[in-house]
Structures are given as C-alpha cells and as structure tokens.
Amino acid sequence: RYQVAAYTSTKNITQQLKTAKRPAAFEEQHRAELTAYRVAAAYFKANDITKLPSLKKLEVEYAQLASEKAKFYEQYKEAKEELLKLKTAKQNVASFFREEEQTQQER
C-alpha cells in the first residue's frame, strides 16, 4: 500500500528528471522523492509485480483486514480473560486442598 502510494506520487518527478536541463542539480534537489520512487520500484521488481493495483482497492482491502483484525483481537481478549479466570480457579482449588491436607495432618 505504501509502496504504491510512494511510486505513484513520485513518478512525475522521475519523468521531470529525464527532461531536466541539469539532471544532477535536479536529482540533488529531489533526492528524497527519487529515493522513495527507486525503493518502491525495487520492491515491485523484487516481488515480480508488473501491474500496480489501484490505491482505492488497496485502501478497501486494508480497511477490511483492519476490521477483521479488530474482531480477532476482541476474541483474543475474551479468551485471555477466560484463561485468567480458569488459572485463578485452579489456584484456589489447589490452595483449598493444601489447607485441607494440612488440617488433616495436624489431627
């Protein structure tokens, strides 16, 4: 998602570099944007991505995944609370039986 945004937002600067009268000065002036473009292009090449997905499509997919993540996190929190209750109950039962054993040994 970030790579697509960086690539599309800086693509026109790379085109301007090709037509610049002083490419070295232009590149120095726009070093950050050109670096972002080159990093994104390298990422796409490394992952064999030839056609870029639309940014809107990526945003929709990201929102859907974030929603799914939130739902799973809620399930995780509930399971964690249940586990904590079970551990507490286990400790209480173990403590009860230890106390009962001690009172029987004292008799």
SS (H, E, C) 39-52: HHHHHHHHCCCCCC
35 and 69 assigned to the same domain = no
N-term to C-term CA, the chain: 72
Cβ atoms of 16 and 29 within 8 Å: the answer is: no
User: In the chain, how many domains are there?
Assistant: 2
CA distance 44 to 34: 15
Using 50, 70 and 90 to split pLDDT, how confident is the model at 107?
low
45 and 67 assigned to the same domain = no
For 23-82, what is each residue's pLDDT tens digit? 889 888 888 988 888 888 888 888 888 888 787 888 899 999 999 999 999 999 999 999
| pLDDT given at position 23 | 84
Instruction: Out of 13-17, 68-72, 100-104, pick the least confident.
Output: 100-104
What residue numbers bound the domain in which 31 lies? Answer: 1-52
CA distance 13 to 36: 11
Enter the DSSP assignment of 22: S
| pLDDT given at position 90 | 96
